[in-house]
Structure 1
Amino acid sequence: MQKKKNRIIRMSDIETEQVRWLWYPFIPYGKVTIIQGDPGEGKTSFVLAMIALLTTGKPLPEETEAAEPISVIYQSAEDGLADTIKPRLEASGADCSRVLVIDESDKELNLCDERLEQSVQETGARLIVLDPLQAYLGDNVDMHRANEVRPIFKRLCAMADRTGCAIILIGHMNKAQGLKSSYRGLGSIDFRAAARSVLLVGRLKSDPAVRIVAHDKSSLAPEGEFIAFSLDAENGFQWIGYCDVSVDDVLSGTGSVQTKTAQIEDELRKMLIKSVPAEEVFRRAAELGISERTVNIA
């Protein structure tokens, strides 16, 4: 019997493609992004506020321009659609006609479910959110076993690549303290390995209403700046902006927040008591680690 030859692909035959971004450098199109944090830290609120901006065509935090409004498929296994998700979307100003849900009343979804790809093709949705990740692994899958997790994520990543749709998986973290952020996610570390971007959400003990989004892994671009938002019963959700903290600050709840916009605003007040060349302003901003884009916003 003649042995079948291997199919060999030459790199010279592959057409180079640029990575496309839903939100640079945090969420790439055609890839999987994980957003994780302890329960109650604001992960879902952060994602719903982001969906509100995406579905209405408004600029994302610290951005000056917005893309066309997009449709989003949002699946939640923990919160009710009528009494929790929709009211929160409406409070954030989302266009609810662009927020779509796959009916799971007859059959629950999982990460390998063909209905995900079918729904993207039928609706043109550009983002899928599954909240929480652990609820969509499928029956009899041990999330701590790499050999069980890896093939599921491989199929999910392939679907994202075929459709060009961004996929966000919202995940809880384990209770272990003192570990590196790489080992705080629930389940196998293969979750983190498969994702092209990982964001951590946590709150500061010094001001429990303030939450931080930290870019903990970025395989396709330099890690983005940390973003702060506030969340409390009186004022609801409010974006704060870029800030200076560390991943350790987010995990431990220590540190304090001054946004980079506020920081450069203070500098501008000091500098602009007289005429100053723009180059000098941008040079001072660079010394503080502040981008020209943030200077322009300020």
Structure 2
Amino acid sequence: MNFLDRALPLIARNFSIIPLGANSKAPQKGIGAKQRSTGKKDFQQIESWAQRFPDANVGLVADERFCILESDDYARLAELIRNGTGEEIPETMRSGRDPNRPHLIFRHSNKSRTIGCPALPGIFECRFTNQYVVAPGSEVDGTFYKIFVDVPPVEIPDWLVAELVRLAQVEKKERSNPTVQTGPNGKITEGGRHYKLMEEIGRRWDGEISEEDFIAWAVEKNDELCDPPKPIAHVVQCVRDIMKKPPHNPGPKVMLGNSDKSGNVDPERWTLTSLSTIEAKPIRWLWTNNIAIGKLNTYSGEPGHGKSLISIDLAARCSVGKEFPDGAPNAIGACDTLICTLEEDVADTIKPRLLAAGGDPKRVHFISQSGRALRFSIVQNEAKLRSLFSRHPDINLAVFDPLLDFTRSNQNADTEVRQELTLLADIANEFGFAAIGINHLNKKTDLKAMHRVAGARGWTAVARMNYLVFKGEEKTPEGTFIRHLCPLKINLAADDRPSLDFVIAKGGVLSEALIIGQVYPILHWLGPGTATADDMGAAAVRTTEADTWLKNFLEHGNWVPSEEVKDAGAKQKFSVDQIKRAKQRCNVEDRRWRAVEGDTVVSVAGLLQ
């Protein structure tokens, strides 16, 4: 296996790397962590290194995206974390050459970027910034480094970062820690030599001493402190590593207090990136200008107005590569959909409706446990979700219905909601699928449409494409209510577009023996309409106006001919349907009376007690 063989799988995962010596842990001369590649974009640099160092090992570098927790005793570390927090170390990518001394690879959090590289010698070392470990595929002394747990790195939890810092602080205060032993002669024995040596070298680095003098000083310090002394090559490498850092920064020793009391991060840890280095790219669309890939999209509405049926309709279209409701072509073609729902049964509702809509059930999936749809929290199962989507790249649409069922946050806590939904959007972006969340509305019918989505503002703020689904007042000639799909908050396309109108029709199933011939609700799209999201609120106001008018028109005890009621309502611009529903809400009864003289039958309306 050569350098390129070792490097390519790592840059495919977007890791930063450096070349190490052949059969060695030390980096190539003149190359340190700061000269790392930056993931997939630096293939030219990787090829250059491959030509210069064809047999090199590879170092996996902690950068602005990934951090590495190196453990010399994983069982002991897990025990310390469990005793201190009551939590288990999250499942994340794990590599190394000994399962008991692994490298745990996490995605950085805002907190982990600020703490430096705390360590508890003999137990763990946080390689969180500008440090590296030997990467999987490399070979040292005849032993290969491997991946022990092959799942995508998860974000390191803040509670774990805090506990690592606490453990490091305890070690710093208690210099008699049994993992750092001194012999009879007072010198440091194996297990703590590296950390003490790096601490002393870091303190000596003033930014002015030459490399030659610095190495000579460090070799003397090594002989003075360590029994047996570390190899000279190791000392030289320690010096070179420290010289790449700002003066008086001891690198891998415990580094705490990197932010002031206001929470401001040390500016030396910030990085400015010029937009000129960023490659611009277009928005990727599942449904052009309607559903964005790599983003969160939402559909909000009252129960029974058609939100879930829209998601089934879209899943059916995606499964067979059918054009979308506005006639836009399905540019991706037939693809897979993941439907996560707990409100509807998969066997008697989801699948029959999909079949009635013309979908291919082979391309529509749900997450199951013992054959039943699984309830799960996105944030608590991040690693499993990332693993699932990495194993099923054909999934281009994922529906969460309702989205609230798959979060653990208080739906009214804006910060919590934003964090969870941002995580979902991040997963969608990483694995290239469109996420659709179904939301409910609150009961405050007097509010504008934007404020009707239940819970915190984050439910619509994080999503880039938000739609409102509602049933209007008008009907088709066949007597079916017209429903509207309206833009609510659109960030990636024009938001002044017309609504898309539809009705709920009936569709039969031509397969599946047990349900052949039965009918299920499907959508029939009518094309562009004139409704807007705020028309839902206007319809609610108009309903209240109709009720008030009818009660005032029909004084108790007076029966008024129904035709007169209809004509009077028309003058107030109420439709026949609006008056009919107002009668039902206001306890108005229609009766048929025979006139006193003659045979004429008159329909009258009266307000009952």
TM range (shorter): 0.7 to 0.9
Structure 1 gaps, min length 5 = 255-298
CA contact (8 A) 1:173 1:185 kept: yes
Q: How big is each residue's C-alpha offset from its partner over 1:111-156, in whole Å with a ceiling of 9 and x where there is no partner?
A: 3233333222212201110000111112xx2110112212112211
Equivalent runs, 1:248-263 vs 2, <5 Å? 248-253=534-539
Whether the 8 Å CA contact 2:323–2:330 is kept in 1: the answer is yes
DSSP-derived class of the 1:86 partner: helix
Distance 1:56 1:206 in 2: 33
Deviation at 1:220, TM superposition (A): 1.0
Contact 1:34 1:198 in 2 (8 A): yes
Percent identity between the aligned chains? Answer: 29
The 1:26–1:104 alpha-carbon spacing in structure 2 relative to 1, beyond 3 Å, is farther
> 1:109 aligned to 346, 352, 376, which one?
376
Specify the alignment match of 1:161 in structure 2: 429
Larger RCO (CA under 8 A, 6+ residues apart): 1
Aligned-residue offset at 1:104: 4.5
The answer on whether the counterparts of 2:315 and 2:397 sit within 8 Å (CA) in structure 1 is: no
The alignment of Structure 1 onto Structure 2 pairs a total of residues equal to: 252
CA RMSD between the two structures: 2.0
1:235-293 alpha-carbon deviations (Å, 9 max, x no partner): 74211111112222234448xxxxxxxxxxxxxxxxxxxxxxxxxxxxxxxxxxxxxxx
**Cα displacement (A) at 1:221:** 1.2
* Aligned residue number for residue 242 of structure 1: 528
The answer on whether the counterparts of 1:37 and 1:201 sit within 8 Å (CA) in structure 2 is yes
- What amino acid is the match of 1:122? R
Alpha-carbon deviation of 1:177?
Answer: 1.1
1:83 aligns with 2:359: no
Check conservation: 1:212, 1:227, Cα contact below 8 A.
Answer: yes
State how far apart, in whole Å, the 1-side matches of 2:295 and 2:457 are: 17
- Among 487, 504, 516, the alignment partner of 1:215 is 487
CA distance in 2, matches of 1:144, 1:103: 29
Cα 1:104–1:39, aligned 2, differ >3 Å: closer, same or farther? Answer: farther
CA offsets, 1:14-71, max 9 Å, x none? 1111101011211101000011101111100111112111111111112253331110
> 2: CA distance between counterparts of 1:6 and 1:65?
44
Counterpart CA distance in 1 for 2:364 and 2:538 is: 34
User: Which residue of structure 2 lines up, in the alignment, with residue 257 of structure 1?
Assistant: none
> 2:64 maps to what in 1?
none
TM-score normalized by structure 1?
A: 0.79
Query: Contact 1:182/1:189 (CA < 8 Å) preserved in 2?
Result: no
Long gaps (5+) in structure 2: 1-247, 250-257, 259-267, 507-518, 541-609
Partner residue in 2 for 1:92: 357
1:202 touches 1:251 (CA, 8 Å); kept in 2? Answer: no
Deviation at 1:168, TM superposition (A): 0.2
Q: Does 1:130 align with 2:400?
A: yes
- Counterpart of 1:242, as a letter, is P
The residue aligned with 2:594 is none
Alignment of 1:64-79 (within 5 A): 65-67=329-331, 68-79=333-344
Retained in 1: the 8 A contact 2:449–2:536?
A: no
Aligned to 1:294: none
TM score, norm. by length of structure 2: 0.40
How far residue 187 of structure 1 moved from its aligned partner, in angstroms, is 0.9
Match of 2:388 in 1: 119
Spell out, residue by residue over 1:151-179, the C-alpha distance to the aligned partner (whole angstroms, 9 max, x if none).
Answer: 11221121112112110000111110121
